[in-house]
Amino acid sequence: MEMEIEEQGETGKNVMCQLTDPEGNHLGPPMYLPQNAAPKELQQIVNKLLNNEEKLPYAFYISDQELVVQLGTYLQKNKVSVEKVLPIVYQLQAVFRIRPINRCSSTIAGHTEAVLSVAFSPDGRQLASGSGDTTVRLWDLNTQTPMYTCTGHKNWVLCIAWSPDGKHLVSGSKAGELQCWDPQTGKPSGNPLIGHKKWITGISWEPVHLRAPCRRFVSSSKDGDARIWDVSLRKCVICLSGHTLAVTCVKWGGDGVIYTGSQDCTIKVWETSQGKLIRELKGHGHWVNSLALSTEYVLRTGAFDHTGKQYTSPEEMKEVALERYKKMKGNAPERLVSGSDDFTMFLWEPADSKHPKTRMTGHQQLVNHVYFSPDGQWVASASFDKSVKLWNGTTGKFVAAFRGHVGPVYQISWSADSRLLLSGSKDSTLKVWDIRTHKLKQDLPGHEDEVFAVDWSPDGEKVASGGRDRVLKLWMG
């Protein structure tokens, strides 16, 4: 009886809380926490409960809002009832911090038509760009000058993709041909890969944790097919046919399946040994424009991380990449987000269900680009409604809208620590947004026309952008 009285007396000062991970798994039973507990104290508790040998940094969220003050202050400000158990989500943060980008370090001329795509290599040491002038260019990031001009395409280069082991670069053109390049020499590796009848809309490589060295990639095309190519055999090994209209985007998932999004409003999931259709994801009322995977960042970077470590063998690379993938994915299934011309997005867990987990609404115009943060915690979406929106990557719940662009937003990219988001727009500016404060961190004018392509290097040091003004800009912190 005494015990009960004591507990009741305590509840004035204490709050009954339940710590959970982002997937909703409880960390121990609910516990009373003092109202003066702040993130620092919560970090100590989580590290202790998880038996972490080194103390790791965590952030804490109450209904998608980061807790940055004492518990009591938060409860008062948000008028939260202490009658019920308060769920607090803990999320592991990147141990390293990326400096915000704030200045243009160089403007590199060279392309004679618009720059349509830019991409850093997985280790962040090289940069490639594709242009309407039919060339791919490789740039030396140390001297910030052009290194190689890769010629051979007969039409606009619409997309480029590095293999996650960094050994190959593939480009796809408006004529429907693909070309593989050796990034060390800038020379083509063999003849163009022919098969698609219309232009290439996307390229995605098989993850290095599934096969090293990297050999296979998949391309999507306006002709309605996706094709798997083997760069060693220099040919198409599987054609994925089934969409009734153009395939607009493609992703090769960490579990080995391929996702294709199409103007026929469906997303198809394919296995990759024979190219059989596994399932179809339906729900969108208009074209699917963009797909993003929760594991995308580790799939793109493979074994490379912010430390810049290089590897001697494909086996070692495969092993490290698998470890990074498993750690990133945890026990949860790989998640997929789709963005559409119907102004909405869907969050899926395709391995578990053909039905969407949630429908994400709020954009007033078509959703052009969707992208998961490297830690999988957030989804960002870019739209023709001039806004960028932020969503919870696990639940799909809306978190914040970033407004400031005065034209459609074409492309977005994340910093490696998931703390900053970059956007490029028709309004000729790049903007950097702070995920914690939901505010504009940096406005980066400088381009003379529309910015079509942006990328943030995996090592976090640089941002590249390109657009209608034909120049490539590099930005630093």
Which among 192, 311, 334 has a CA at the least distance from the CA of 251? 334
**Whether residues 267 and 402 fall in one domain:** yes
**Whether residues 86 and 202 fall in one domain:** no
| Within a domain: 28 | yes
**Whether residues 75 and 113 fall in one domain:** no
| Within a domain: 325 | yes
**Whether residues 313 and 288 fall in one domain:** yes
| Within a domain: 5 | no
Separation of alpha carbons 4 and 21, rounded Å: 30
Fill in the amino acid letter for 186.
G
**Whether residues 120 and 260 fall in one domain:** yes
| Within a domain: 7 | no
Exposure letters 123-138 (e unless 16+ CB within 10 A, then b): bbbbbbbbbbbbbbbb
User: pTM of the prediction?
Assistant: 0.92
**Whether residues 143 and 62 fall in one domain:** no
**Whether residues 468 and 333 fall in one domain:** yes
Separation of alpha carbons 261 and 337, rounded Å: 11
CA distances from 472 to 46, 128, 130, 428, 465 (A): 45, 10, 10, 13, 6
> For the chain, how big is the Rg over CA atoms in Å?
23
**Whether residues 166 and 281 fall in one domain:** yes
- The CATH number given to whatever domain includes residue 86 is 3.10.20.90
- Note down the domain range covering 56: 14-92
Structural domain total, the chain: 2
- Return per-residue pLDDT of the chain as tens, 477 residues: 333 333 434 445 789 999 999 888 999 999 999 999 999 999 999 999 999 999 999 999 998 889 999 999 998 898 888 788 999 999 999 989 999 899 999 999 989 999 999 999 999 999 999 999 999 999 988 888 889 999 999 999 999 999 999 999 999 999 999 999 999 999 999 999 999 999 999 999 999 999 999 999 999 999 999 999 999 999 999 999 999 999 999 999 999 999 999 999 999 999 999 999 999 999 999 999 999 999 999 999 999 998 889 998 999 999 999 999 999 998 899 999 999 999 999 999 999 999 999 999 999 999 999 999 999 999 999 999 999 999 999 999 999 999 999 999 999 999 999 999 999 999 999 999 999 999 999 999 999 999 999 999 998 999 999 999 999 999 998
